[in-house]
Amino acid sequence: MSSTNSKTVASRDDGAIKAVIFDCDGVIVDSRKANAYLYNQFLSHFNKGTLSEEQIDYVHCHTLQESLEYLLVDERLIEEAKRLWQEMDYEPLIDLLDLEPGLLECLQELARRYRTAIATSRTRTMKQLLQRFGLDPYFDMVVTSLDVRHPKPHPESLNKILLSFEIAPQAACYIGDSDVDRETSHRAGVLFIAYRNEELKADHYISHFNELIPLLEQC
């Protein structure tokens, strides 16, 4: 997705936030049901039990590769699961996603005043997700784990966005809901806003997207 958007942003020297970067799962969409469905399909294929809550927490914020390694361990099973993933119909997964409340209205306002991007551990389903919810027009750039050599919590995804937008780390914020997001943000040097998770160590917290723009105006 192109990042050469012509929208007006403040100069790079005034200290204000100029770019708002989102995690996807747990922030843009509630994907817990979809993740549970996906990884239970893998476990069922190998005659293993269903996911525990702890396992769901893990796969919710890690890449496909990391999650398969965590759940299956055996390299032969991991490779078989990846083959299944390549052949899988994504539509049932997309159907299980729910857009977070207030997000669309927030994005409509953000798009007039800020550069916007996504940095996510998702892979090939990201395009379908954006199309399903009509979100393409609201993001200048999308970086998935397929677009980087080092997935989160490595800061490469955020650094890629900062470089494309030609802004310093202090001119951006990252909105996430997990410790992986917090570490990614910290390592990139950008402001971290925790979404619906007050247990995280964060610079700011929001529980609904109607709180985001007033917060950004104060940063």
- For residue 150 the two structure tokens come to 């080092």
∠ Cα 134 121 166 (to 5°): 75
Cβ count near 156 (within 10 Å):
19
Closest CA to 165 of 173, 177, 153, 175: 173
| pTM: predicted TM-score of the whole model, two decimal places | 0.83
The predicted structure's pLDDT at residue 93: 86
* Two structure tokens written together for 74: 């055996």
pLDDT of amino acid 7: 44
pLDDT along the chain (219 residues), means of 10: 39 72 96 91 94 92 91 95 88 91 96 96 90 96 96 97 97 96 98 96 97 94
pLDDT at res. 15: 65
According to the model, what pLDDT value does residue 90 have?
Answer: 80
